[in-house]
Amino acid sequence: MRQKTENAQSVIFTDPDDPNAAIATTCAESIPRPPVTSDKIEAISLGGVAATLYHDKNQDGTPRDEIIVKNPNNGLEIIIAGTGVTFQKALSSFKFVQ
């Protein structure tokens, strides 16, 4: 994975071997929720913390999942967005650093 920082709070990770694999993340006091219907929203746990998974799509119609979770260390909301195997692996190993 390659890391690209967009600003002081946003990061995009890309897979040099798969141009379609990317994970974007940012944090803020309040993250706007994606405009999806209730059947596209799931309650999940991320790193042992309650989170919400939104099944959304990109402007070109390709699917994209977005997870919004509150950082238990500082209270900021974090959004993690992506798709595919790399994204799922990142989520399954996600942990909050204390």
Per-residue pLDDT at 51 exceeds 70: yes
The CATH code of the domain that includes 13 is 3.40.1000.10
User: pLDDT tens across 24-43, in order?
Assistant: 999 999 999 999 999 999 99
d(Cα 22, Cα 28) in Å, to the nearest integer? 20
Domain hosting 47: range is 2-92
pLDDT of the residue at 86: 83
DSSP one-letter code for 89: H
Per-residue pLDDT at 18 exceeds 90: no
| Number of folded domains that form the chain | 1
CB 90 within 8 A of CB 23: yes
Would 97 be classed as within a structural domain?
no
